Structure formats: C-alpha cells, structure tokens
Amino acid sequence: NAGVTQTPKFQVLKTGQSMTLQCAQDMNHEYMSWYRQDPGMGLRLIHYSVGAGITDQGEVPNGYNVSRSTTEDFPLRLLSAAPSQTSVYFCASSEMGQGYEQYFGPGTRLTVT
Amino acid sequence: DQQVKQNSPSLSVQEGRISILNCDYTNSMFDYFLWYKKYPAEGPTFLISISSIKDKNEDGRFTVFLNKSAKHLSLHIVPSQPGDSAVYFCAASAQIRETSGSRLTFGEGTQLTVNP
C-alpha cells in the first residue's frame, strides 16, 4: 500500500522558473491538501480539494495553482518561482469530514535561488 | 493571525519522565483537535485526537487534555522514550459546513528531545 506519494523529493529552481510538484494517493480519499513547512511557522495550508474538480484556497495560496482532475492526483504548480517559495512541501489526504486521520506524503524540499 | 499556537519551540526531558506539550488556540469555532508527530525527512503522522465534547482522551502512553474555557490543550507522554524525540504539531478543525471538518490549522511545532 503506497499511501501518499510525492515527487520529486528535492528540487532546485532559479527565480522565475516554473514547475509542478506531484502528489498521488491510492486510498480513494476525497480530501487532499498541500502544506508548506517553514522554520518557526509550522504547517501552513496552501490549497485543498474536497473532490475531483473542486479546489479552494488555504492560508497562503499566492504563487501556487492546483487542479484535481482525478480522485488520485493533486498536483501543485509554481508558475514563476520566487526565493520566498523555498520550503518543504507536504501533500496530505483523508476521508472527508472531521475525525479522520490525514495521511501525509514524505515531502518535497524546494530551493529557489 | 496565528489561530493555533505552540509557545515552546523545544522541550527536553529525561527518559522515563513525563513530557508535557502545550497548545493554545484562539478560534472558538474549533471543535476537533489533533496531535501529529514528525521525524526529520518524513511527513507528519497522526498521533492522537480529541473532540470538544470530551476533556481527555488516552491511547497507551499518550493522553490529550482539553480545557475549552481556557482554549488550551496539552499532550502528555508517560513514560517518555528516546524514540519519542520528534517535532510535535498541534492542529485544529472546525465543522462549520460539511466540507470544512477536514481542513486543519496547525501550530508551529515543538521539538521534543528525550535523553537516555
């Protein structure tokens, strides 16, 4: 059982470049989300999705786009990378509703120079 | 506006003693609370949770206490073990509508170190 997978594990970008962080889950979860983790700031929600075709903004959505064409996949796009987007990114999934554990992927460490 | 706060960035305890990690929240709509544990280079993993209708939930060595009037929760680990050394995140959610219960707001995290 793969759970939540993320690729790549590490990425270095130059300012202005674009890229897509991939996230996939094999648990048929409706809810998926992206977080960024920065020192002293915990995990902050970027975007989330409550099902295929439905996405919404979290706390820090600026500079990021998402789409959800299938239940399994929830990619995060950086259209024009900035040094402020240097962070560790985590994807998570869960069943819909309160009381369900969120399963996290192993993370992608992104550096923007 | 940090709605969930963990004021202690780090905590160091001796093996076998109690570890107490604290968390405060400001949003009175939060009605479900969770603790996650994170090892370096891994994603967070769920540890324990509590609903606002309870004031205590226990799972083995881990107990979470909720004080709604003070908007405060704490995680107790007894006895602490070196393998418990990790970053612990407090998180909260509010079931305002059908789809909002899954959305979590996290605290900054507390690095727990358990010394042998």
SS (HEC) of B33-88? EEEEEECCCCCCEEEEEEECCCCEEEECCEEEEEECCCCEEEEEECCCCHHHCEEE
The pLDDT of residue B52 is 94
Res. A98 pLDDT band, cuts 50 70 90: confident
Listed residue (B25, B8, B68, B76) closest to B47, CA to CA: B76
Q: Please state, in angstroms and rounded to a whole number, the distance separating the CA atoms of residues A63 and A9.
A: 20
| Contacts with B, A 8-47, CB within 8 Å | 31, 33, 35, 40-45
The pLDDT of residue B102 is 81
Task: Using a CB–CB cutoff of 8 Å, tell me whether B104 touches chain A.
Answer: yes
Listed residue (A105, A41, A112) closest to A74, CA to CA: A105
> In this complex, which of A4, A35, A98 lies closest to B101 when CB atoms are compared?
A98
| Span A20-35, average pLDDT | 96
The distance from CA B77 to its chain's CA centroid, rounded to whole angstroms, is 11
Q: Is the pLDDT of residue A39 over 80?
A: yes
Query: What residues in B contact A49, CB-CB < 8 Å?
Result: none
Res. B22 pLDDT band, cuts 50 70 90: very high
The residue in chain A having the minimum alpha-carbon distance to the alpha carbon of residue B50 is A99
Task: Using a CB–CB cutoff of 8 Å, tell me whether B28 touches chain A.
Answer: no
Query: What residues in A contact B41, CB-CB < 8 Å?
Result: 106-107
Listed residue (A36, A37, A32) closest to A56, CA to CA: A32
Contact call for A107 and B46, based on CB within 8 A? no
Q: How far is A71 from chain B (nearest CA, A)?
A: 16
Chain A interface mutation, best of B95, B100, B102, highest count of A Cβ atoms under 10 Å? B102
Q: Count, in order, helices (H) and strands (E) of chain B.
A: 0, 11
Res. A1 pLDDT band, cuts 50 70 90: low
> In this complex, which of B4, B104, B105 lies closest to A102 when CB atoms are compared?
B104
Across the A/B interface, how many CB contacts are shorter than 8 Å?
73
> In this complex, which of A43, A50, A102 lies closest to B99 when CB atoms are compared?
A50
**pLDDT over 90, % of chain A:** 88
pLDDT tens for each residue of B48-105: 999 999 999 999 999 999 999 999 999 999 999 999 999 999 999 987 666 666 889 9
Range A42-76 burial, b when 16+ CB lie within 10 A, else e: bbbbbbbbbebeebeebbbbeebebbbeebbebbb
| Span A64-68, average pLDDT | 97
Q: How far is A41 from chain B (nearest CA, A)?
A: 5
The distance from CA A49 to its chain's CA centroid, rounded to whole angstroms, is 10
